Amino acid sequence: ASCGALRSFLFEYDTPRIVLIRSRKVGLVNRAVQLAILAYVIGWVFLWEKGYQETDSVVSSVTTKVKGVVLTNTSTLGARIWDVADYVIPPQGENTVFVMTNAILTLNQRQDHCPELPDDKTVCEHDGDCTSGYVGTHSNGIQTGKCVPYNSSVKTCEVFAWCPVENDEHIPKPAFLREAENFTILVKNNIWYPKFNFSKRNILPSISKTYLKNCIYDPRTDPFCPIFRLGKIVQAAGQNFQEMAVEGGVMALQIKWDCNLDRDASLCVPKYSFRRLDNKDPAHTVSPGYNFRFAKYYKDSNGTESRTLVKAYGIRFDIIVFGKAGKFDVIPTMINIGSGLALLGVATVLCDIVVLYCMKKRYYYREKKYKYVEDYEL
């Protein structure tokens, strides 16, 4: 009996055991990690990102209408009125509208033989310098093989082309239609969120016909007016309209629809912003701006065809619509709650990692947290 009692005493007091040492610092770290996870789940996931909502992306359609008239008086054209049919090309585009602000006009062109513009490949001294049938990358027509006077001092190769050929070396400065900054553009935007069957347009129910005829968009006084003055659009993007009008450019009119459909539908309103899309870098001035050519054709009483060639410089306005809508749904709510609870379970693991591998007394905590035992055969 005495031997059994001694053996029991030695086993109870001499055998090493696994011992968990509780520390105030360890508890503080554990609570800090748990609070950080709770703040992330509640503050970021649910309040900021609205993790309790189902979301949908916007489906949009855009139509535009430009208004404005300008008078020009030049030696070539004389006094002339320019209206929407002259400077909006084409009349309707898909989410875009081009307004001509500058132009190089070549009047009364006919298909004929005439001298080509002088350059390093067209300047000649005699017919042998020209190749019949040659067409270069920048040619205005097909060479005939003849060398003819371009002016009193220069000869160039003759071409069969629309004559006289266009000379676009000098761009008009200031811009031909510099008063285009006073033109206005009406943007009509209809949006639809198919998942929630919710639709709306940027002409809000509170906007009356009288207000629409007189308002101009202003971010402070008229933030929901859908009529924009072109000069103010360019100015809001930090650009100078008169400089941009000379060689043209590309502007973005952005409409953002972020709607919380758990609230009243009247609070779902558009927000407008503007920026320049084409790169304006003073260090890279090769082929700047935006331009293209088009022609207007005519026939006289004799059936002779002629045309006016227009190299149009201007500003293309791209209307970009984006946004999302959210509405409460049980499924994403339960998923995010479950994810939050799972993260709380990770708090203990993160706490152990911090205590055992990052703190200065990590070796002390490791020794106190674990004690290793050997197996004894009784």
* 184 has binding-site annotation: yes
Query: Across 116-183, where does the E strand assignment appear?
Result: 141-149, 155-163
Q: Is 291 annotated as a binding residue?
A: yes
263 marked ligand binding residue: no
Spatial separation of the C-alpha atoms in residues 229 and 239, rounded to whole Å: 14
Distances (CA, A) of 270 to 184, 191, 267: 19, 10, 10
Q: Which two tokens stand for residue 77?
A: 């054209």
- The C-alpha atoms of residue 165 and residue 187 are separated, in whole angstroms, by 39
Q: Is 296 annotated as a binding residue?
A: no
Q: 3-state DSSP call for residue 342?
A: helix
- The answer to whether 121 is a known ligand-binding residue is no
Torsion on CA atoms 222, 223, 225, 230, rounded to nearest 10: 90
213 is in an annotated binding site: no
324 is in an annotated binding site: no
> What is the pairing mode between strands 184-193 and 227-229?
antiparallel
The label of the residue with tokens 């809508």 reads 325
| 292 annotated to bind ligand | yes
**Structure-token match 């006077």, residue found:** 149
Task: Pick out the residues of the known binding site.
Answer: 65-67, 184, 291-293, 311
Task: Pick out the residues of the known binding site for ATP.
Answer: 65-67, 184, 291-293, 311
